Structure 1
Amino acid sequence: MAIQSIFNPTQSAGMLKIENQVKTVPTPYEAQQTFGSFLKDAIQEVNNKQYESDVMTEKLVRGGDIELHDVMIASQKASIALNATMEVRNKVIEAYQEIIRMPV
Structure 2
Amino acid sequence: MNISSIANSIGSLAKTQANPTQKNDGATFSSMLNDAMKEVNTSQVEGYKAMEGIATGNVKNLQEAVQKIEEAELSLKLALEVKNKAINAYKEISKMQV
- Both structures adopt the same fold (TM-score exceeding 0.5): yes
Q: Is the 8 A contact 1:49 1:78 kept in 2?
A: yes
Structure 1 residue runs of 4+, over 6 Å off? none
1:75–1:65 Cα change, 3 Å: closer
State the structure with more CA Rg.
1
Residues 60, 67 of structure 1: 8 Å contact kept: no
Contact 1:56/1:66 (8 A) holds in 2? no
Asked if structure 2 preserves the Cα contact closer than 8 Å seen for 1:60 and 1:66, the reply is no
How far, CA to CA, are the matches of 1:70 and 1:76 in structure 2? 10
The alignment covers a number of residue pairs equal to 80
Match of 1:68 among 62, 65, 89: 62
| Displacement after TM superposition at 1:72 (Å) | 1.3
- Specify the SS of the correspondent of 1:103: coil
The structure richer in strand per residue is 1
Q: How does 1:26-37 map to 2 (within 5 A)?
A: 34-37=28-31
Partners in 2 of 1:78 and 1:39 — Cα distance?
A: 17
TM-score by length of structure 1 reads 0.66
Q: CA RMSD in A?
A: 2.6
The CA distance in 1 between the partners of 2:58 and 2:45, in whole Å, is: 17
1:42 aligns with 2:41: no
Aligned mates of 1:82, 1:65 — CA distance in 2: 23
Structure scoring higher RCO (CA < 8 A, sep ≥ 6) equals 2
| Deviation at residue 66 of structure 1 after TM alignment | 2.4
Task: Report the CA distance between 1:62 and its aligned residue.
Answer: 1.3
Range with bigger deviation, 53-62 or 63-72: 63-72
Q: Runs of 5+ in structure 1 lacking a partner?
A: 1-17, 19-23
- The share of aligned pairs that are identical, in percent, is 36
Q: Is residue 2:59 matched to residue 1:101?
A: no
Question: AA paired with 2:84?
Answer: N
